[in-house]
């Protein structure tokens, strides 16, 4: 499976980081660059398959992210990100999304499942500020927040268990 990441992400080999960058880039394409977006650290840890403790520092350790993306720890459970508008980017009606960037191959089934789930969530309005008043809107600080369900985690865990079972069967 191939995903598109911004051209500045060239050289990043970690598939989980590429999934996060592709997701953040897609959110900025849909909702606007030069804006700050807030997401649960648990969601980012599921995308990257890393623990949520210290995930911001770990993501900042990539020079490509450090130079082109602003990341921060706002709260204990919230990560903030912002991507600046690419040079020459203009949102026009005839602009084809996904034309800018490079393709990265996802070979691990876990990341393929995570990316497929994220694509499904991007088909709906995931920014809580724009949802109807009957649903849970902003958090107590009035910040825009993502409301991603945890269904993908169970699919990923099943995939991980199958892979572990296959490794165990090979050892026997």
pLDDT in tens, 82-140: 988 776 555 554 445 444 688 999 999 999 988 988 888 777 666 655 444 434 345 55
Range scoring the smallest mean pLDDT among 5-9, 50-54, 93-97, 100-104? 93-97
Q: For the chain, how big is the Rg over CA atoms in Å? A: 17
Instruction: Please return the burial class of 140, using the count of CB atoms within 10 Å of its CB with bins 0-12, 13-18 and 19+.
Output: exposed
Instruction: List C-alpha distances in Å: 43 to 9, 25, 134, 140, 151.
Output: 20, 16, 23, 19, 11
pLDDT at 82: 92
Measured CA to CA, the distance from residue 90 to residue 96 in angstroms comes to 11
Mean pLDDT score, 56-83: 89
pLDDT band at 17 (very low <50, low <70, confident <90, very high): very high
For the four alpha carbons of 85, 90, 93 and 95, in that order, the dihedral sign comes to: negative
Three-state SS string across the chain, please? CEEEECHHHCCCCCHHHHHHHHHHHHHHHHHCCCCCEEEEHHHHHHHHCCCCCCHHHHHHCCHHHHHHEEEEEEECCEEEEEECCCCCCCCCCCCCCCCCCEEEECCCHHHHHHHHHHHHHHCCCCEHHHCCCCCCCCCCCCCCEECCCCHHHHHHHHHHHHHHHHHHHHHC
């Amino acid at each position: 499976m191939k995903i598109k990441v911004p051209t500045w992400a060239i050289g990043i080999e970690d598939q989980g980081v590429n999934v996060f960058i592709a997701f953040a880039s897609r959110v900025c394409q849909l909702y606007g660059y030069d804006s700050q977006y807030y997401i649960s650290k648990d969601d980012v840890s599921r995308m990257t398959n890393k623990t949520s403790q210290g995930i911001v520092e770990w993501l900042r350790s990539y020079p490509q992210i450090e130079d082109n993306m602003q990341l921060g720890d706002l709260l204990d459970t919230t990560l903030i990100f912002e991507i600046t508008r690419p040079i020459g980017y203009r949102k026009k009606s005839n602009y084809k999304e996904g034309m800018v960037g490079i393709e990265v191959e996802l070979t691990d089934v876990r990341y393929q499942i995570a990316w497929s789930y994220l694509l499904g969530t991007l088909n709906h309005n995931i920014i809580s500020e724009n949802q109807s008043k009957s649903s849970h809107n902003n958090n107590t600080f009035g910040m825009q927040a993502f409301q991603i369900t945890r269904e993908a985690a169970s699919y990923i865990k099943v995939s991980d268990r199958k892979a572990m079972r296959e490794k165990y069967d090979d050892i026997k």
